[in-house]
Amino acid sequence: MLDARGDGLPLCRDAHERLFGRGALSGPVLPDRTIAVVDPGADGASAAFELGRRGVGQVLVAPELHDLFARVDAILAGRGRGRIALCLAGGGIEGLLWELGVLRALETCLVDRSLVDLDFFCGISAGSILGALLANGIGPDEILRALTGQGSARLEPIRRYELFDPDIGEVARRLAGLVRELLRGGAGPRGAVSSLARAVPPAVFAGKRLERWLERQLTSPGMSNRFSGLRRPLYVGATDQDTSEAMLFGAKTTPEVPVHLAARASSALVPFYAPVRIGNRWYVDGAFSRTTNMRVAVDEGATLVILVDPLVPVRAPTPGHVRARGGIYGTMQGLKALINGRFDKAVHAIRAMYPDVAFHLFRPEQDDMRVLAGSPMKVFYRREIEEIAYRTTLEQIATQHPTLSRDFALHGVRFRLPASAPRQVVPQDEEERALFDLEALGIEPGHVG
């Protein structure tokens, strides 16, 4: 509670910045659960405007004591236990491996719950494949064994040839069409150029073997390939290639579509993997239209949303760093920059739209970005990428632990750092430290409560 009466506004302004920071998704105290008290009159109106712009939940003008207590009671009672959603973005094979490391780190921090017990999952691109397995009750450790070629009781190991199957059939069809057009004579040089452009196949890999592998896993005993039969709800995002519109697959919208086919469509990252036909429409990677389906998560009742996004561009201080590494590296850098810029705006907008929802974002740090940069097909570094993500995520969790444990506790889940995790050396927990800093500013208990 902030007391902005009299000359208290500057102190409240400093207190707000200490507690919440600027641009942060979350902090030790939630801004919408803050009450400010102002004087009546023009000065109070000006203070109320500034505090409202800063995201303070309620601004009261000279309230009666009983009204103030009633507002506090309403805030304490109003944040009930909602649903927990896990939203996974894309990023090719390297992104999938990085997300897997994040999931394994989160799993070690959940005391009385497993990740597969969260309320529902949203997946886009590589995240849809992970989501399909998580929604079937397969945890991150078991998925990792399959991806590193070991396999498990419920998952076959995935081999390199199942990830990379050159689309030879499509190349042959395009070449045959090109030969026919050239034999007809075309329409001069311009027609020949157009024919050559149409002869370029849409992708390098067909993705059929990956599709069949996923289908085998989801149709094995104890698993479900139907959205309605999953252990937990799953929402998969893809992009209609011809309209560029986002498409959402799930039990409510497309109960007839098999899960494996929706996941394969969502991860059709052209020009690497070919588009997928479902019904009479062609679909490509969901990241072209959405980064994560966080709005879907909120619409489905989530009040705690865990976002995992590996699509972060490299920020190299050396001029020419990206250019020197060739076309694929440069293309992925540009794609990540576009998606990342869109996502940053979206995540802060949705946080402002839904102040009662807690969002926690996990993404690569600067050193991790270099490992993830370049080709999204880094299958040769499977264990290394996953291990780096696991370690750096534990470091992020150590920094954010007070807010993470608070938000999970509000949803009935215990969340704590494992004994082996790195720990932040601080004199108090995050909220106590913030209040200590406020006292250093000279703010008395009457101004902050």
Among 3, 26, 119, 125, which one carries the catalytic annotation?
125
Residue 285 falls in the annotated catalytic set? yes
CB 167 within 8 A of CB 205: yes
Cα angle: 361, vertex 400, 99; to 5 degrees: 40
DSSP-derived pairing of the beta strands 83-88 and 58-61: unpaired
Residue whose pair of structure tokens reads 């020009």 in the numeric block: 271
Cα separation, 93 vs 99, whole angstroms: 10
Which two three-digit tokens encode residue 124?
Answer: 């886009």
Report the residue count for the chain.
449
Residue 114 falls in the annotated catalytic set? no
| Beta carbons within 8 Å of 125's beta carbon, 6+ residues apart | 89, 90, 91, 92, 95, 266, 267, 269, 285, 286, 287
Helix axes 92-109, 140-147, angle to 10 degrees: 150
Nearest in space to 397 (alpha carbons), one of 438, 350, 430, 437: 430
CB 362 within 8 A of CB 89: no
Among 165, 167, 285, 407, which one carries the catalytic annotation?
285
Residue whose pair of structure tokens reads 């098999």 in the numeric block: 258
Q: From residue 136, how far is each of 108, 131, 413, 414 by CA, in Å? A: 20, 8, 21, 23
Helix ranges (DSSP H) in 54-159: 65-78, 92-109, 126-134, 140-147
* Dihedrals phi, psi of 425, to nearest 5 degrees: -90, 105
CB 81 within 8 A of CB 356: no
Nearest in space to 290 (alpha carbons), one of 329, 257, 248, 350: 248
> Which residues participate in catalysis according to the annotation?
125, 285
